[in-house]
Amino acid sequence: MRKPRRSMLFIPGSNAAMLSTAFVYRPDSIMFDLEDAVSLRAKDSARLLVYHALQLGVYREMETVVRINPLDTPFGIKDLEAAVRGGADIVRLPKTDSAEDVLRLEREVDRIEQECGRKPGSTRLMAAIESASGVVNALSIATASPRMDSIALAGFDYVVDMQTQRGDGTELFYARCAVLHAARAAKIDAFDVVFSDVNDDEGFLKEVALIKRLGFNGKSLINPRQIELLHQAYAPTEEEVRKAERIVEAAEEAERAGLGVVSLNGKMVDAPVVLSARRILYLARPTYSPA
């Protein structure tokens, strides 16, 4: 069972101070941004900074993501070279509209891994869905490559494309459901949009409660102060933990007894329920080791 991926913190690739200290915030994933957060004149220096940050031991212990510029810009391939050669776990492709966008990225990653001697297939891919076309094509995008690790909904460009604006969440409901269903069908993770008002904790937590109910694995973040709020919101309740403990204990007892059926309080417990219980315990206790 993979580690929880509730929080993915954006770090501007041009901010040397943040690149050298962001690990202290302990998000589940840290994303070095070479795209929107970096001005045109700082693209080359930011790329170099991110490449060297990826070499730091503290980031080797965390899941690292690099958001590159689109491949059809003068910066995209250079960003990709730095990310893959630097050892990033995941490359995030912005403005993904079709499966072909993913396939082109896959071909370039294959080439770079081969050239630099990195283990083939070790660089995973994340597609950012930012348009109506991307939402409509979400399933083909999510299943385009075995390297696909996750898809993320990016709200700002999407609502502009839809000729609306951010509001109470109604404007994103279809996109969220489409992206999430595509991720689940492809058996990969799904990340929700950034909540940009870092001073509105109440609004942030309301949105987190919604995406948690929908089933998103986590959320993209732009401010470290949102990390703890998000993790607490995703933490199971005491009642959920106690119920999960009983289910897992029953499953382990059935396994020791060589039984093919798990029973709790006279009721059969299906395998997906046991898996869900293990996930709950893992969220509640970082040191928990699922069987």
Phi-psi region of 117 (alpha: psi -120 to 50; beta: other; left: phi over 0): left
Helix (H, G, I), strand (E, B), or coil: what is residue 111? Answer: helix
pLDDT of 140 reads 98
Q: What is the dihedral of CA 78, 102, 194, 168, to 10 degrees?
A: 150
Q: Would the pLDDT of 212 be above 90?
A: yes
pLDDT for position 43: 97
- For β-strands 262-264 and 267-269, DSSP reports them as antiparallel
Q: Name the residue among 58, 47, 48 with its Cα closest to residue 20.
A: 58
Type of residue at 156: F
Bridge partner list, 219 = 7, 192
> Which contiguous run of DSSP H or E holds residue 134?
helix 132-136
pLDDT band at 289 (very low <50, low <70, confident <90, very high): low
CB 161 within 8 A of CB 175: no
Tokens (6 digits) for 234? 């995703």
pLDDT given for residue 260 in this prediction: 66
| pLDDT tens track for 243-263 | 878 887 777 776 777 666 676
Provide CB contacts within 8 A for 15, sequence distance 6+. none
The rounded distance, in Å, linking the Cα atoms of 272 and 144 is 26
Check residue 258 and report its DSSP letter. T
Average pLDDT over residues 71-97: 97
Q: pLDDT tens across 42-61, in order?
A: 999 999 999 999 999 888 88
149 CB-near residues (< 8 Å, 6+ apart): 90, 124, 125, 126, 188, 189
Q: Rounded to an integer, what distance in angstroms lies between the CA atom of residue 104 and that of residue 70?
A: 11
The per-residue pLDDT for 259 is 67
Q: Over the chain, what is the mean pLDDT?
A: 91
| Residues 183-201, mean pLDDT to the nearest whole number | 96
Average pLDDT over residues 173-199: 96
Q: What is the distance between the alpha carbons of residues 195 and 46, in angstroms, rounded to a whole number?
A: 24
Domains defined along the chain, listed by start: 7-234 (3.20.20.60), 238-284 (no CATH)
